Structure 1
Amino acid sequence: MSQTYTHVQRVRVLYKLILRLHRGLPDELQVIGTNYARDEFKRHKKCAPQEAVIFMNEWTNYAISLAKQLGMKGDTANIGSGLSSDFLESLSDEQVVQLYELMKASTAPPSETCDK
């Protein structure tokens, strides 16, 4: 018997999966990644259906990529991948600013990124 999920259920399953995957990251990256994911999922709560499809595809690809990277015997030294110039060219100005802010947060000393 196959189970059919509503869109909301699929979003929740993906969101919870991402949060579980983030537990495998170093503490600094876990905080940044979890906060970023939380903000993005909240921001896209009422997006257009076409945008929701793109959003879900991109976050699903992220979850798959992170699961593969974390699956390598717990080695967190090689997490992440570079961005191609074609990809960077396709980003909107707002997305470039958001990416820059994420880069600043990820390279800041731990005391500036953690609220512990």
Structure 2
Amino acid sequence: MATPISHVSRVRALYKGILKLHRGLPLEMKAIGDQYVKSEFRLHKSAPHQETKIFMSEWTKYYITLAKQLGQRKQIQTIGVELSEELMDNFREEQIGQLMELLKESHKPMKEGS
């Protein structure tokens, strides 16, 4: 009989999997993404059970979406998805602030030599 995988092992596997997928992103996106993932996983280390379930579900969806997008063999690769208004309504004020910071960072001009 197989032993059940612990919650900590699932979290660690998802975290490492996301960081591994980020290797396929352009350098600027990878840097921003890695920093954000590390911060979010650290912040949710001691989150309540219900919040942890939602957290893992959403990050698993992110992992699957990014894996599909990176797996596409197109000339122009599309990364990301539009967030629905319904989803945005569920975000806390600090999460909206984080999204705005990510948006600003992602629109900065690339530095020469990068």
TM-score normalised by length of structure 2: 0.89
Q: Distance in 1 between matches of 2:14 and 2:39?
A: 14
Q: Which residue of 2 aligns with 1:88?
A: 88
Pairwise CA distance, 1:75 = 5.5
Q: Percent identity?
A: 48
Pairwise CA distance, 1:87 = 1.9
Q: How many residues align?
A: 112
- Change in 2 beyond 3 A, CA 1:85/1:110: same
Which range is displaced more, 14-23 or 97-106? 97-106
C-alpha deviations, 1:59-94, integer Å up to 9, x for none?
000000000101102766311111122222222212
Q: Distance in 2 between matches of 1:22 and 1:76?
A: 17
Pairwise CA distance, 1:55 = 0.7
- Change in 2 beyond 3 A, CA 1:76/1:8: farther
CA RMSD of aligned residues (A): 1.7
Contact kept? 1:66, 1:79, Cα under 8 Å: yes
Q: Distance in 1 between matches of 2:2 and 2:60?
A: 21
Query: Runs of 5+ in structure 2 lacking a partner?
Result: none
Counterparts of 1:1-116 in structure 2 under 5 Å?
1-73=1-73, 77-111=77-111
Query: Runs of 5+ in structure 1 lacking a partner?
Result: none
Contact kept? 1:69, 1:78, Cα under 8 Å: yes
